[in-house]
Chain A
Amino acid sequence: MAEEIQAGCARPTGGPVGESPPPEASQEEKPIEEVHKMIKVGQKAPDFTAPAYHKGKFVNVKLSDYLGKWVLLCFYPGDFTFV
């Protein structure tokens, strides 16, 4: 399901799928845009890709690869934080 990635010196990153980064000029409109993007129950979760560590390997994970399964997506402040 998840494609393995090589561990190089560059830090791998992911991001939302199907969205180009907003142009510099639109920075002032950004808060309005974010209001529109608020997650709502009953609506589609925004797709994304993200590098991950999984059972000894570095892999690339895409949310839409999990269609057909239940997903519990958890965010947390940081590794080695206490809670």
Chain B
Amino acid sequence: MSIDSVFVHKMWNDHELSKMVKNGIPFPMLSDGGGKVGTVFGVYDENAGVETRGRFIIDPDGIVQGYEVLTPPVGRNVNESIRQVQAFQLVRNSKGSEATPSGWKPGKMTLKPGPDLVGKVWEVWKTDMAFD
């Protein structure tokens, strides 16, 4: 979503993005002229008249599970966004019985919070696991 019109979105997709992504952008490119939606989400920069790089993870109930906002010159890490969605999906599928520790990726161990784990995380989770 940006403040550009749908016509500009079409031109950008058809003339540039479709040369980077086969068959063009697969998801809807949303237009927010005037930044009304961006204002509600807290990412519209009134002075610059544009939206900052806000990224919101919204779950199937419409609940915001996470967000990240960057100023324009630094691009996002798409893999990290996907990792976060996978982590939230795992937590949701476990009905909250599992949690994903720092550095978790699909396939890595999760934690099962409860009375038995209090003070025992150091036994099952090592700091190296945040970085591998």
Contact = CB atoms under 8 A, between A and B. Distances in A.
Contact of B40 (A12, A41, A48, A68): A48
Interface in B52-75: 52-67, 72-75
Interface string A15-48: 1100000000000000000100111111111111
Interface of A: 2, 7, 11-16, 34, 37-48, 50-55, 58-59, 61, 63-64, 66-81, 83
Contacts of A54: 27-29
A16 B37 contact: yes
A75 B43 contact: yes
B26 to A, nearest CB: 7
Chain B contact residues: over half helix, strand or loop, or mixed?
Answer: mixed
Interface in B62-111: 62-67, 72-76, 81, 85, 88-89
B6 A72 contact: no
Contacts, number: 166
| Size bracket, chain B contacts | 35 or more
A70 B89 contact: yes
B77 to A, nearest CB: 12
Contact of B57 (A64, A72, A76): A72
B19 to A, nearest CB: 13
Given A15-B36, A53-B29, A67-B62, 16 more contacts: A13-B31, A13-B33, A14-B37, A34-B42, A39-B67, A48-B40, A50-B31, A54-B28, A61-B30, A75-B51, A75-B52, A77-B51, A79-B12, A80-B12, A81-B72, A83-B74
Contacts of A70: 57-60, 85, 88-89
A75 B54 contact: yes
Contacts of A37: 40, 42
